[in-house]
Amino acid sequence: MLEKQSKAPAFTLMDQQGKLVSLSDFEDQTIVLYFYPKDDTPGCTTQACSYRDHSDEFKKRNVEVIGVSKDDVKSHARFRDKYNLNFTLLSDPDLNVIPRYHVWVEKNRFGKKYMGIARTTFVIRNGIIEEIFENVSPKNDVEQVLAALDKLN
């Protein structure tokens, strides 16, 4: 399990345009790295649109928002275009990074067990995990993150 004040696991993944994005690209910056289950599903759309709608507040704080799921680059591009999302979506279809953040978990839905992403948000500053929000509500995630960012500054 990752803990606050620990070093964030490094990553390099493709974004919705097929460009490689690495944690090291944000060395002197604060990022919100949020893991979500699936593009264009109700909860994930609510969460993504909330980040979109609060983008000015993140810009004011010089914070970059990045969403990560197992969906491929094409799916991310469609999702981003459909909802006019204004932040980066990273694709991890081979599960190279998601398990390193300990968000690949066994889930149980209607008695059926399967593996999936636990909706989790990390606030990372200068490569160090400052905050971790586990099992976040898609509706309340952004408010929790903004409040945490205000406490960090």
Distance between the two ends of the chain, CA-based, in angstroms? Answer: 26
CA distance 132 to 121: 6
Using DSSP's 3-state secondary structure scheme, residue 26 falls into helix
135, 118 Cβ separation under 8 angstroms: yes
CA distance 62 to 58: 6
CA distance 83 to 146: 22
Q: Minimal CA–CA distance to 73: which of 17, 26, 113, 131?
A: 17
107, 84 Cβ separation under 8 angstroms: no
- For the annotated catalytic residues, the residue numbers are 44
